[in-house]
């Protein structure tokens, strides 16, 4: 795996230089001691999967998301993005049948059609995964190299790293009068990061405004249960199975939160509010 590791180091340095030119800061490069240097067993292959996952989907998450959002993002990077998620999921969740099936198919292909058993088999899996990692990083380098000549590209890449998802979730939650526990805050931070990593700033947008909008959507997605069955609401409003069903239930949640009514009183209030709004739209 020495050849693949040397290529990995060169590709990381190239991508880091592109990022430094565009944003003023280099990209994180794992130290040699923290990256598996050989694979000769199931456990060592698992360590390589974990290292690749953490680099691609954690340390480089915002950079990968930004570059994959560019026009021309091609197969190798998207292939690794999906592959490393599936392999890591199979490793961490043995009850995930889809991921385990993908693990079995991929490792058999890497071994020439049979499951990995010997040290050489696992070494082949390691080389194959490193080849996929290197191809993906090369794809990112090409995207960064062609984009860095444009000021808009450099500004957008800088914006990805300048805003803190931790800060924006805390700020928006405060504006909404919400008090988040540690686990809740971490959940919303992950949701905001997921959307932000794939978002391309449009003309007139700022990173702060977009992040705040993502935080608001995530925070407001946590709704209390309705004080009646949702079918009762949909039946009363005659929207069951129609495109109006979702907006109607969103309204029902808002009425429940504001009025704190229940039973027939609540349903009639939802109905009257719905009718009023529909009449306004019809004018």
Residue 178 counted as domain residue: yes
Q: What is the pLDDT of residues 234-245, one digit of tens each?
A: 999 999 889 888
Domain boundary, last residue among 196, 220, 244: 220
CB atoms within 10 A of CB 235: 12
> Is the same domain home to 179 and 81?
no
Q: Which of 7-11, 163-167, 212-216, 221-225 has the highest mean pLDDT?
A: 7-11
Do 242 and 122 fall into the same domain? Answer: no
Q: Quote the mean pLDDT of the chain.
A: 89
Specify whether the CB–CB gap between 41 and 122 falls below 8 A.
yes
pLDDT tens digits along 8-27:
999 999 999 999 999 888 99
Is residue 133 within 8 Å of 8, Cβ to Cβ? yes
Residue 107, in any domain of the structure: yes
Which DSSP string corresponds to 78-146?
Answer: HHHHHHHHHHHHHHH-TT-HHHHHHHHHHHHHHTTSS---SHHHHHHHHHHHHHHHHHHHHHHHHHHHH
pLDDT at 137 over 90: yes
156 in the same domain as 54: yes
Q: Are 187 and 129 part of one and the same domain?
A: no
Please tell me whether residues 119 and 57 are part of one structural domain. Answer: yes
Within this chain, do residues 168 and 124 fall inside the same structural domain, yes or no? no
- Does 209 or 164 have the greater pLDDT score? 209
Q: What is the pLDDT of residue 72?
A: 73
35 and 121 co-located in one domain? yes
* 189 lies in some domain: yes
Same domain, yes or no: 214 and 259? no
Q: How many helices, marked H, and strands, marked E, lie in the chain?
A: 13, 0
Task: Report the alpha-carbon distance of residue 105 to residue 215 in Å, rounded.
Answer: 38
* Short-list 84, 78, 6, CA closest to 46: 84
Residue 70 lies in a domain: yes
pLDDT at 18: 95
173 and 49 together in one domain: no
Cα(60)–Cα(19) distance, integer angstroms: 11
Q: What confidence score (pLDDT) does residue 49 get? A: 97
Last residue of a domain, one of 142, 160, 178: 160
Cα 56 from Cα 272, distance rounded (Å): 51
Q: What is the pLDDT of residue 38?
A: 92
Residue 7 sits in the same domain as residue 143: yes
Lowest mean pLDDT among 66-75, 178-187, 188-197, 261-270: 66-75
pLDDT category at 282 given cuts 50, 70, 90 is low
* 283 — pLDDT class (breaks 50, 70, 90): low
Give residue 71's pLDDT. 78
pLDDT in tens, 148-163: 999 989 988 887 776 6
Q: Is residue 257 part of a domain?
A: yes
Percent of the chain with pLDDT strictly greater than 90:
55
Residues 141 and 32 in one domain: yes
Task: Identify which of 169, 139, 168, 143 has the alpha carbon closest to the alpha carbon of residue 156.
Answer: 143
pLDDT in tens, 19-71: 999 988 899 998 877 899 999 999 999 999 999 999 998 889 889 988 988 87
265: confidence class by pLDDT, cuts 50, 70, 90 = very high
- On whether residue 122 sits in a domain, the answer given is yes
- Same domain, yes or no: 25 and 156: yes
In a domain, 225, yes or no: no
Q: What's the structural domain count of the chain?
A: 3
pLDDT at 164: 67
Among 220, 244, 266, the domain-final residue is 220
- For residues 186 and 204, the model is more confident at 186
pLDDT at 97: 92
Could you tell me if residue 62 is inside a domain? yes
The parent domain of residue 240 ranges over 230-282
């Amino acid at each position: 795996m020495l050849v693949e590791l040397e290529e990995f180091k060169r590709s990381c340095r190239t991508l880091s230089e592109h990022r430094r030119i565009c944003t003023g800061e280099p990209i994180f490069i794992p130290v040699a001691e923290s990256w598996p240097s050989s694979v000769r067993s199931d456990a060592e292959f698992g360590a390589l999967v974990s290292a690749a996952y953490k680099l691609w989907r954690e340390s480089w998450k915002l950079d990968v998301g930004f570059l994959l959002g560019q026009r021309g993002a091609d197969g190798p990077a998207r292939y690794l993005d999906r592959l490393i998620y599936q392999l890591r999921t199979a490793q961490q969740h043995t009850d995930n049948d889809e991921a385990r099936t993908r693990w079995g198919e991929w490792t058999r292909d890497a071994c020439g059609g049979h499951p990995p058993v010997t040290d050489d088999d696992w070494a082949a899996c390691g080389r194959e995964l490193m080849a996929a990692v290197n191809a993906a990083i090369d794809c990112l380098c090409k995207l960064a190299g062609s984009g860095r000549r444009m000021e808009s590209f450099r500004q957008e890449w800088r914006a990805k790293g300048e805003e803190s998802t931790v800060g924006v979730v805390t700020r928006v939650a405060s504006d909404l009068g919400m008090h988040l526990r540690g686990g809740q805050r971490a959940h919303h931070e992950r949701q905001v990061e997921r959307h932000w990593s794939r978002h391309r700033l449009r003309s007139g947008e700022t990173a702060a405004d977009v992040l705040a909008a993502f935080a608001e959507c995530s925070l407001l997605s946590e709704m209390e249960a309705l004080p009646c069955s949702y079918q009762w609401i949909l039946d009363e409003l005659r929207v069951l199975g129609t495109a109006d069903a979702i907006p109607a239930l969103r309204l029902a949640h808002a009425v429940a939160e504001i009025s704190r009514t229940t039973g027939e009183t609540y349903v009639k209030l939802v109905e009257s509010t719905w009718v009023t709004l529909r009449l306004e739209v019809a004018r």
